[in-house]
Structure 1
Amino acid sequence: MINYYIDGVNDLHFQELLGYQRINDEIEQVMRRFGYKPILTPNFEYYDMYAMDKSLSRDKMFKLIDKNGKVMVLRPDATIPICRMAANTFKNPEEVLKFSYITTIFREDNSKTNYRKDFIQGGVEYFGNSGPECDGEIIAVAITMLLNLGLEKIHIDVGQAAFLDGLFDGIDLTFSEKERINELIENKNLGDLKLYLGQLNITDEIYETMLKIPMLFGSYEDVMKKARELCLNGSMEAALDHVESVYEILSIYGLENYINLDFGFTNQLDYYSGLIFKGYAENWGDSILSGGRYDNLSKTFGVDRPATGFGINISLLMEIIGREENSQDYFDVLIRYENSMLSDALSTASLLRDLEFSTDIIDNKYIYSEENYRFVLMVEKNGIFISDKDDKIPTSIEKFMDILKGDISL
């Protein structure tokens, strides 16, 4: 027999889908409470649109050719197409826009999970507000989602792309040199960072400062104090001022205890320009959400508009949280019937469905799981019975409907 299973994708069965539904419902409720409007962009986008972000590897995208010979890709990122949509539809750069989404992301991944080719992601994007209250709200939304899902051991690592960018100001470095420095700082590879910086034409002061940045992580108070001591110009000071203001906003929300600082993690995606963050849960090694400010992305689509947002990996959340626990009573009634009683069984099923009770109907001759039903009703020649483990409890349609409604007990 031919094996048609594709490595890196995952079939979703009933229990998994219930888990996804519960997670999606919780996430969508939080989005709505904070005023974000749901939108959806196409699965397909033009390949060239992603050329602006060199961090999205072209080799990891799934490509195809349209009838006009243009190269298209399945959506490898949610933020860029939403930014395109916002710029194409809402031309006024002063207008504030708040969007939410739950969608599928398609790209190759090196993780050990079952979704290395696609995964479900939710997120919010906030356009038109450059203030710290915008970044604070975005992080508050992220934390609230995790808390509402019952995750308690969570923390958000906040960084600032503009802090290191400020250090780069006035230094004659190529794009590839900055990219390499970012990579070594991100990986906290101090040995290779020393060797690499030693080959560059930079001052001793900048050399020493860059070597300290990978270790700028931990509690807000401790890291902010050390970072202030490393500031060499106004741009670095302004970057820290913004982080400080966002932290004050989060304190008003009462969420400051979930915040750590990490200026050693850098610009994950090329379009991030300011505050960046990652979220972690339940001692899970990989970040479960990430986001940040991207003030320069929108103008590539013709509208100069500041923005910030984040995406949360719902597929990874499913692995952490597990399957839906309360799926036993997903449906109301399963009707089992003897062949000669088909007419009575169908009439009973129609009556229950008209009353908005979910009702399944199966001939007794078939093997069929009776899990996930509140009640199993037996329609037989000698009457109607409620199946209760190994017992059959006589009933009538009227009495059974009272039981379903909760007016009387079984």
Structure 2
Amino acid sequence: MYSKLISDEHEKYEQIIDTISKRFTTYGYKRIKTSAFEQYDLYSKVKSSINQLEMIKVIDYTGEVLVLRPDVTIPVTQELAHTIGNLADELRYYYVQEVFRQPFEQNEKIGRTQAGIEYFCESSPEADAEVIALACHTMKDLGFANIKIEIGHAGFFNELIRNLPLKSRQISQLKTLIQAKNVVEIGPFVKNLDIDEAVKQAIEQIPFLYGNPADVTEKAKRIALTSEMQDTLDYLMDVYSILKMYGLEQYLVVDLGLINHMDYYSGVIFQGYVGRLGKPVLMGGRYDQLGNEFGATLPAIGFACEIDSLVKVATDSDFASSSLIDVQIVYEKEQLELAIQIANELRDQSMKVLSKSVDIGQPDSRLSAYTVYLKQEGHVLQEDDDRISFTNLEELLRLLDGLKGVS
């Protein structure tokens, strides 16, 4: 039983990755792979990076400090900066690989599989909407009905606090309170800040700027204190209008309190939820300035899915049909050669086939769409309760083609 549970979980894992990869390719993305080990300096010297306390560090034989890959976006951007410099034509890449971070919660794993895309392109509502649509379509492909994509914009909050006399520690505390929508503590926190009263009121309103995109935008315009903040809201509505053309409006909400922990995001940011899982299964956004850290202009937007979270929330029924064996072959010893011929032919047609002798035991019809019995007195193809006799390989293939055509 334990081995079956492991097998079922792995089967679901592989099917989710296969489904995601297929969807990514329909949008024109090509698969890439980055090194499992990166130089620590790559992350320690980049201003916009992940928490260095989360990095898994190792030392190589020369004494150089390396880190197990904690992120994919940064090394991909660095590689492009070194190979092509400034962006001339758009580039689309996707990846499926492990990232490694030190967990701060019990039962969290160090290594987690991510599947994501990196779309290097000029900033535009069309490009950003397409990436969000891809994220939504990916979740729909996986069979999730209760999908929610929260969309925000890093520029709205950043512009609000841009000229405030705040220390980095205060900004970090404020971000944490807003992200948690901790309205109880935000008020007292901003009350003690030496900032304009209008700014205080605007900050206190941010956690409430969540919900229907049109309604949220109207509320946000009342506290938009600069033309740049107004432009950000107009941009978000342009993105939303395009997503409505994709027919995805029922999955979308705007959250102007969405502040991603990846500080390199500079424009649209978003995260996706499915099922009853209380944390996002995908996160992404636009990072137009990251290439500047490596002396290049590489505007881009991307997102990553947490495969382990998707496996947890996906029900067995979502993948039961695709995990079935196509054909089981049960043969008497004298029919071994025919059993091998049939199995070879069906596998060449990309069908999943199990073959075993009657001496081992009877097949479980629940595991396969069809069962083939090869016996001395005659051969039978069974589908559910229907049994059809056949005499040779060619006749069996015609029967299978006919049955698959009907189904």
Q: TM-score, normalised by structure 2?
A: 0.84
5 Å matches for 1:156-305? 156-305=149-298
Which residue of 2 is the match for residue 4 of structure 1? none
CA contact (8 A) 1:335 1:349 kept: no
User: Deviations 1:168-198 (Å, cap 9, x if unpaired)?
Assistant: 1221222222111111111122333233323
Deviates more, 1:48-57 or 1:38-47: 48-57
Q: Equivalents in 1 of 2:149, 2:350: separation in Å?
A: 43
Task: Report the alpha carbon displacement of residue 148 of structure 1 after superposing the two structures with TM.
Answer: 2.9
2:305 matched to 1:309? no
1:297 to 1:394, Cα distance in 2 relative to 1, 3 A: same
The answer for the alignment partner of 1:106 in structure 2 is 100
Q: Secondary structure at the residue paired with 2:264?
A: coil
Instruction: Say whether the 8 Å CA contact 2:330–2:358 is kept in structure 1.
Output: no
Q: How far did 1:157 drift?
A: 1.4
Deviation at 1:234, TM superposition (A): 2.6
8 A contact 1:156–1:259 mirrored in 2: yes
The residue identity in structure 1 corresponding to 2:392 is I
Aligned 8 A contact 2:118 2:303 in 1: yes
Q: Quote the offset at 1:346 in angstroms.
A: 4.8
Equivalent position SS for 2:115:
strand
Among residues 26, 33, 51, which one is paired with 1:57 in the alignment?
51
One-letter amino acid matched to 2:92: K
Task: Tell me the CA shift for residue 77 of structure 1.
Answer: 1.8
Shift of 1:287: 1.4
Letter in 1 for 2:399: I
Q: Is the 8 A contact 1:345 1:379 kept in 2?
A: yes
- Distance change (3 Å), C-alpha of 1:209 and 1:56: same
Distance change in 2, residues 1:332/1:87 (3 Å)? farther
Q: Which residue of 1 aligns with 2:71?
A: 77
Following superposition, the deviation at residue 354 of structure 1 comes to: 6.1
Which amino acid is 1:242 matched to?
Y
Taking the aligned partners of 1:353 and 1:405, their CA distance within structure 2 comes to 14
Q: Is the 8 A contact 1:291 1:309 kept in 2?
A: yes
Change in 2 beyond 3 A, CA 1:23/1:202: same
Q: What are the ranges of 5 or more consecutive residues in structure 2 without an aligned counterpart?
A: none
CA distance in 2, matches of 1:269, 1:240: 21
C-alpha deviation, 1:266, in angstroms: 1.5
Cα distance, 1:60 vs structure 2 = 3.1
Unaligned runs of 5+ in 1: 1-9
8 Å Cα contact 1:132-1:246 kept in structure 2: yes
Answer with 170-179 or 387-396: which moved more: 387-396
Q: Which stretch shifts more, 138-147 or 194-203? A: 194-203
Q: Deviations over 1:333-366 (max 9, x none)?
A: 334444x775665566556656765544445554
Change (3 A) 1:382 1:367: closer
Contact 1:184 1:193 in 2 (8 A): yes
- Return the TM-score normalized by structure 1: 0.83
Between 1:50-59 and 1:348-357, the stretch displaced more is 348-357
Structure 2 letter corresponding to 1:67: Y
CA contact (8 A) 1:158 1:278 kept: yes
Partner of residue 5, structure 1: none
Report percent identity of matched pairs.
32
Q: Give the AA of the match of 1:31.
A: F
* 1:43 and 2:36 matched: yes
> Which of these residues, 306, 310, 325, is aligned with residue 320 of structure 2?
325
Does residue 137 of structure 1 match 2:133?
no
The answer as to whether partners of 2:16 and 2:142 remain within 8 angstroms in 1 is yes
Shift of 1:383: 6.1
Which residue, out of 10, 34, 41, partners 2:27?
34
**1:376 Cα deviation (Å)?**
4.5
| 1:239 shift after superposition | 2.1
Alpha-carbon spacing, 1:250–1:388, altered in 2? closer, same or farther (3 Å): closer
CA distance in 2, matches of 1:128, 1:390: 56
Residues 258 and 345 (structure 1), Cα distance of their counterparts in 2 relative to 1, 3 Å cut: closer
After TM superposition, give the deviation of residue 40 of structure 1 in Å: 2.0
Q: Distance in 1 between matches of 2:238 and 2:403?
A: 56
| Among 107, 110, 117, the residue aligned to 1:117 | 110
Q: Which residue of 2 aligns with 1:6?
A: none
Using the TM superposition, give the Cα deviation of residue 271 of structure 1 relative to its aligned residue in structure 2, in angstroms.
0.6
Partner of residue 96, structure 1? 90
Distance 1:380 1:82 in 2: 58
Shift of 1:154: 1.9
C-alpha root-mean-square deviation of aligned residues, in Å? 3.4
Alpha-carbon deviation of 1:164? Answer: 1.1
Partner of 1:146: 139
Output the amino acid matched with 1:48.
Answer: D
Classify 1:69/1:223 alpha carbon distance in 2 versus 1 (closer, same or farther; 3 Å): same
Aligned residues, how many?
399
- The answer as to whether partners of 1:328 and 1:374 remain within 8 angstroms in 2 is no
Structure 2 vs 1, CA of residues 343 and 277 (structure 1 numbering), >3 Å: closer, same or farther?
closer
Letter of the aligned partner of 1:330 in structure 2?
I
1:124-179: CA deviations, max 9, x gaps? Answer: 22213122222111111112222233323222211121111111122122222211
Distance change >3 Å, CA 203–CA 86, structure 1 → 2: same
Q: Measured at CA, do residues 406 and 14 of structure 1 come closer, stay the same or move farther in structure 2, by a change above 3 Å?
A: farther
Instruction: Write the distance in 1 (CA, Å) between the matches of 2:348 and 2:124.
Output: 53
Task: Note if contact 2:282-2:305 (Cα within 8 Å) is conserved in structure 1.
Answer: yes
User: Does the 8 A contact of 1:94 with 1:305 survive in 2?
Assistant: no
CA contact 1:115–1:315 (8 Å) conserved in 2:
no
What CA distance in whole angstroms lies between the structure 2 residues aligned with 1:210 and 1:353?
Answer: 62
Contact 2:48 2:290 in 1 (8 A): no
Deviation at 1:392, TM superposition (A): 9.8
For 1:276-330, what per-residue CA distance to the aligned partner results, in whole angstroms no more than 9, with x for missing partners? 1111223432112111111111121221221111112232222222232114642
Q: Is the 8 A contact 1:158 1:259 kept in 2?
A: yes
